Amino acid sequence: MPVISIFSGMYCKANDVVQKTIEKTGYRLVTDRNIATEASKMSGMPENKIMKAFSGKTSVFNRFTHEKERLIAQLRLALAGMLSEENMIISGFSGLLIPRDITHTLQVCIIADVKSRTAEAMKSKSVSEKEAIGIIEKNDAENFSWVNMLFKASAPWDASLYDIVIPTNKVDANKAAELFRQIKLMPTRRRKLFMKTLAMKSFSRQKAQKRLSPILLFLHLLKSPRQKRGMLLA
């Protein structure tokens, strides 16, 4: 599996998952800043200007200038060049720019419940519960703006946008990273089969037992029957 794309909410311990995955797989990390830097080199535009594409704020003049669309086009171009490489984790907003028909990428969403996110924010920022919730809501609004602009989705954590959704209040970083390690170690043909099952509404227990390793079988059987695409780890 050459590329893992990870999109996450704030205070969901996504960095822990990323670091553990790097340790277990040897993948290199690519951030939004890295992609903006490459886009800047290719286009001649200032890097900080390209980074503004990720902001939820859009200029009132954008309907005339289409600046945001141009910035995103430059990011897509830079990202397309990077996708020819292997063994990397794209963490941040940029991964959602990968076309859905690119099959050698695994789209992952990392999220957690409000209670655990609030506790993490209070601990990290040394703020009150009310202040912590405000910080999280502001970040979630940014995430919503980005996802809604790209997909017209009703929520940034919509499982249909991802191959796997990881709730870190239920699944620790080590377990999530182990899943990615096992997928990486799969023979190419078997990995493609696994990726295909993620897009299916249902997959029989009998077939799963024959085709998936114990940890992947366990995670697969936790998949919500209501999801059309995303596997839910719980």
Residue in the structure block whose two tokens are 């945001």: 68
84 against 189, higher pLDDT: 84
> What is the mean pLDDT of the segment spanning 163-169?
90
Question: How many percent of the chain have pLDDT more than 70?
Answer: 77
149 vs 207: CA distance, rounded Å: 38
CB count within 10 Å of CB 90 equals 28
Burial class (CB in 10 A: 0-12, 13-18, 19+), 59: exposed
Structure tokens at 23: 């340790």
57 vs 159: CA distance, rounded Å: 25
83 vs 26: CA distance, rounded Å: 17
164 vs 29: CA distance, rounded Å: 19
Residue 184 has a pLDDT of: 84
